[in-house]
Amino acid sequence: MKPKDEKKLQAIFDATITLTGQEGIVGLTMSKIAKTAKIGIGTLYVYFESKEELVNELYRQLKSKGTLSMIDDLKQLPVKLQLMEIWKNTLHYQVENHAQMLFMEQFLNSPFISEESRGLSHRFMEYLGELLKKGQEQMIIKQADEGILMSLLTGYSRQLSSQLAATKAPLTEQIINESFAVCWDAIKS
Amino acid sequence: MKPKDEKKLQAIFDATITLTGQEGIVGLTMSKIAKTAKIGIGTLYVYFESKEELVNELYRQLKSKGTLSMIDDLKQLPVKLQLMEIWKNTLHYQVENHAQMLFMEQFLNSPFISEESRGLSHRFMEYLGELLKKGQEQMIIKQADEGILMSLLTGYSRQLSSQLAATKAPLTEQIINESFAVCWDAIKS
Amino acid sequence: MKPKDEKKLQAIFDATITLTGQEGIVGLTMSKIAKTAKIGIGTLYVYFESKEELVNELYRQLKSKGTLSMIDDLKQLPVKLQLMEIWKNTLHYQVENHAQMLFMEQFLNSPFISEESRGLSHRFMEYLGELLKKGQEQMIIKQADEGILMSLLTGYSRQLSSQLAATKAPLTEQIINESFAVCWDAIKS
Amino acid sequence: MKPKDEKKLQAIFDATITLTGQEGIVGLTMSKIAKTAKIGIGTLYVYFESKEELVNELYRQLKSKGTLSMIDDLKQLPVKLQLMEIWKNTLHYQVENHAQMLFMEQFLNSPFISEESRGLSHRFMEYLGELLKKGQEQMIIKQADEGILMSLLTGYSRQLSSQLAATKAPLTEQIINESFAVCWDAIKS
DNA sequence: AATGAATGAGGATTCATTCAT
DNA sequence: AATGAATGAATCCTCATTCAT
């Protein structure tokens, strides 16, 4: 990759996300991406060697931005507060970036995904695991299998935000609080 | 569709599910389906008018079989027992039929889906909603928004079974019990 | 060819003619022929070895029936009367059997035609040539090149009947008489 | 259609005409057209959206060029001279462009033809009709039905030029004169 | 004899990628 | 760097023909 124009690069990524949201990754073609990004098809190949690379690169970018950014500010807070903040931020992020979520999900099931991309299990999961463990040590979180607790948090937030996005319902304070209460009751000791 | 040979029809469906599991719906081609099902390409078109029809028909079939079958036996039980049974059955079903789940998920985001198929929101959801409402009336389930509770159950079971299938971990009694405990704590009043 | 059922054979030919009239020889398929003739596809291959044979056989049949039957009754009449009768009969035949005409024309330009069929220049043309020559000997027909006179008769009758069939106009006495007058003025000495 | 290269466009049209002349419109395939035009198959679809569009576009082009160009120069001449000129030009055109004629005829009976193309009854017919009417007003042409006279001119010229092309006979002065004499005798008052 | 399900070669069309401008 | 016309491999689909019943 030898990108020159950061704006153009972002336009390509945006177009890819938009189109995947509209017609699914099945309907995603290079010419549609170019047209949507308002550049020539040839230009796509200045920025990416192939469709596969484009799509993997985008996945990597989304993963690295993702929910990671929020972590550092929270590390000093008590466990429950950290979880609450994460829950709020994650819901916000997932509702606001629903198209990106859709892209990532479909990408994971496509033949485009490279071994490297598949391995991109992100720091976020590790962080969440450690947080739960810390809570268990403090006896405020159930002594259940980590996988069982993580699945709840990730599966629930995904489903809830996806449902909100689908029905175009706004993410209100009340929803955040109610759903977090549900979460906390689920995992608390 | 003018199926003559029920076996051949099922072979087509099986091949479609298998292939979608392997390479995603993006990599699904009619010739691969035919080869996997061990029939001629032309034969596919004896059973289905087009790839779109094939894939919609399969979705419809999976939906109608699906988790619906279990409902009727349970209706007499108390709410919590019903939920427990459903939870167990659902996990079992989803782990054992992970490929079908994958197919349905990808299908929903593909351009193949017809309006009719999209409308196939199943009886199961309605049943689950009513069960939760009944629990709320009996004051044993939280007075939270129905969507918030449903998202938990569906999102959690999906994530958990998907994780189990991915890691090829067996669905043990313990996992079922632990995860149901988590569920129940989450929604109980 | 080992036909057993003359009715079925005719149904096949009729279907072929009808379909060619409707969608052209380009759209002609064996399964449509079978369906229109109300027989099974397999049965077609009991009567004909291939599509090519079917279509050549039909051409041969139409050619041999054709306008030939009328000749024998006329041979004793004077030249102009013979021509008049032929003109009338030909117009009638071509208007009433427009679909057959269409089939033959399209067949002649298709890759189905065999060498043998192409050679089926029929007795009718020879007869018409001889008739014109006789007229020239009797000094009642122009001493022009035979091809020039024949082209007039065949091209004109074809165009006129085709136009009548297309507009579904009936072939009236007046049209026959007026058009024959035109013909006769064209070729008379 | 977004043609960039006029030469390539013409090569496609030429190939289509040639191939239709050789194997009929039944045997016409996109890959043969591409090969004959010495371009890639994909390139065909840069110029035309489909086979249907290609073939309709060609028909339209041939119609609009066609015999129309000759009209304007003649309008000042007396009726009989106009007819003579038209007859000569038409024969020349049809003999020299026999392949185009064949294409148009087969196209008209194919399922490819669009409503719009079918409606392309050309100015030429109207012009010819008006010319005949003018001759009738001047009492030099028979008071016969217009359709009857038009059929003669069009059917005859078609048949004659087609026969000449088939036998590869040259279109001599003598043939033109003799055939026009026949024509004139046919329609003159 | 009659049937039509099964087949795969072949045709139309798409789309990732190249390359001359 | 940017472009988009050109390309052909790969895809969907059709249809003449076969063959077991």
Residues D152, C157: C-beta atoms closer than 8 Å: no
Q: Identify the residue among B179, B180, B183, B188 best suited for mutation to test binding to A, counting A beta carbons within 10 A and taking the highest.
A: B179
Cα(A136)–Cα(A188) distance, integer angstroms: 9
Report pLDDT for C2. 52
Residues C151, D156: C-beta atoms closer than 8 Å: yes
Q: How confident is the model at residue C136 (pLDDT cuts 50, 70, 90)?
A: very high
Report pLDDT for B2. 47
Average pLDDT over residues B133-140: 96
pLDDT tens-digit readout, D106-124: 999 999 999 888 887 677 8
Phi, psi of C141 (to 5 degrees): -125, 145
Q: How confident is the model at residue B53 (pLDDT cuts 50, 70, 90)?
A: very high
Average pLDDT over residues B154-174: 95
Window 124-163 of chain A: CB closer than 7 A to strand E:
none
Report pLDDT for B135. 96
State how far the alpha carbon of C52 is from the alpha carbons of B118, C3, C55, C115, D104, in Å: 47, 17, 5, 12, 24
Residues C111, D23: C-beta atoms closer than 8 Å: yes
Q: Which nucleotides of E are covered by protein (CB under 7 A)?
A: 1-20
Report pLDDT for C3. 53
As a whole number of Å, the CA-based R_g of chain A is: 19
Q: Residue A121: pLDDT above 60? A: yes
Q: Which nucleotides of F are covered by protein (CB under 7 A)?
A: 1-20
CB atoms closer than 10 angstroms to residue B105:
17
Which residues face C141 on adjacent strands? Answer: C188
Burial of D133 from C-beta contacts in 10 A (0-12 / 13-18 / 19+): middle
> Residues A79-111, buried b or exposed e (16+ Cβ, 10 A)?
beebbbbbbbbbbebbbebbbbbbbbbbbebbe
Residues A186, B182: C-beta atoms closer than 8 Å: yes
Sequence-distant (6+) residues with CB within 8 A of C108 are: C118
Q: Residue D166: pLDDT above 50? A: yes
State how far the alpha carbon of D78 is from the alpha carbons of C105, D81, D86, D132, in Å: 37, 5, 12, 12
Cα(C157)–Cα(C164) distance, integer angstroms: 11
Size of interface A-B (CB pairs under 8 A): 118
For the whole prediction, is pTM greater than 0.75?
Answer: yes
Which positions in chain C touch D158 (Cβ < 8 Å)?
155, 159
Report pLDDT for C1. 43
Average pLDDT over residues B146-166: 95
Q: Which two tokens stand for residue D48?
A: 């035309």
Q: Residue A164: pLDDT above 90? A: yes
Domain ranges of chain A: 6-49, 61-187
Average pLDDT over residues A23-44: 96
Report pLDDT for A81. 94
Average pLDDT over residues C74-90: 92
Stronger pLDDT, B68 or C160, i.e. the higher one = C160
Report pLDDT for C124. 82
List the one residue out of B11, A34, C181, B109 whose CA is nearest residue D187: C181
pLDDT tens-digit readout, A134-152: 999 999 999 999 999 999 9
Q: Residue B138: pLDDT above 70? A: yes
Helical ranges in A24-145 per DSSP H:
30-37, 41-47, 51-65, 71-74, 79-96, 98-108, 115-118, 123-137
Percent of chain D past pLDDT 90, that is, above it, reads: 81
DSSP C188: B
What angle (nearest 5°) sits at the alpha carbon of residue D187, between those of residues D186 and D189? 115
Q: Which two tokens stand for residue C103?
A: 């089939």
Average pLDDT taken over every residue of chain B: 92
Q: Residue A113: pLDDT above 70? A: yes
Which positions in chain D touch C142 (Cβ < 8 Å)?
181-182
Separation in Å: F5 C1' and D59 CA: 25
Which positions in chain A touch B59 (Cβ < 8 Å)?
none
Average pLDDT over residues C65-82: 82
pLDDT tens-digit readout, C161-171: 999 998 999 99
Q: How confident is the model at residue C68 (pLDDT cuts 50, 70, 90)?
A: low
Report pLDDT for D119. 80
Contact D87, D173 (CB under 8 A): no
Q: Is B33 on the interface with A (CB under 8 A)?
A: no
Q: How confident is the model at residue A64 (pLDDT cuts 50, 70, 90)?
A: confident
Q: Residue C72: pLDDT above 90? A: no
Residue of D24, D105, D111 lying closest to C27 (CB–CB): D111
Separation in Å: E17 C1' and B101 CA: 34
Residues C156, D157: C-beta atoms closer than 8 Å: no
As a whole number of Å, the CA-based R_g of chain D is: 19
As a whole number of Å, the CA-based R_g of chain C is: 19
* B45 Cβ contacts chain E strand, under 7 Å: yes
Q: Identify the residue among D159, D164, D177, D187 best suited for mutation to test binding to C, counting C beta carbons within 10 A and taking the highest.
A: D159
Window 18-77 of chain C: CB closer than 7 A to strand F:
27-31, 41-42, 44-45, 50-52
Separation in Å: F5 C1' and D100 CA: 28
Average pLDDT over residues D133-147: 95
Cα(B128)–Cα(C120) distance, integer angstroms: 78
Q: Which two tokens stand for residue D174?
A: 């003598």
Q: Is B185 on the interface with A (CB under 8 A)?
A: yes
Kindly report which amino acid residue has its CA closest to the C1' atom of nucleotide F7.
D40
Given 1.10.10.10, 3.40.50.1100, 1.10.357.10, 1.10.260.40, which CATH number is that of C61-187?
A: 1.10.357.10
Phi, psi of B188 (to 5 degrees): -65, 155
Q: Residue A71: pLDDT above 80? A: no
Q: Which two tokens stand for residue D31?
A: 């890959």
Residue of A23, A148, A178 lying closest to B179 (CB–CB): A148
Cα(B45)–Cα(B51) distance, integer angstroms: 9
Report pLDDT for C66. 73
Report pLDDT for B118. 84
Stronger pLDDT, A63 or C50, i.e. the higher one = C50
Contact A183, B183 (CB under 8 A): no
Cα(A118)–Cα(A98) distance, integer angstroms: 20
* A177 Cβ contacts chain E strand, under 7 Å: no
Average pLDDT taken over every residue of chain D: 92
CB atoms closer than 10 angstroms to residue B36:
17
Report pLDDT for D2. 47
Stronger pLDDT, B156 or A74, i.e. the higher one = B156
Q: Residue B137: pLDDT above 60? A: yes
Task: Establish whether domains D6-49 and D61-187 are of one fold.
Answer: no
Average pLDDT over residues D54-68: 87
- Write down the architecture of domain C6-49 according to CATH: Orthogonal Bundle (1.10)
Q: Residue A89: pLDDT above 70? A: yes
List the one residue out of C105, C100, C110, C113 whose CA is nearest residue C62: C100
Percent of chain B past pLDDT 70, that is, above it, reads: 96
CB atoms closer than 10 angstroms to residue C54:
22
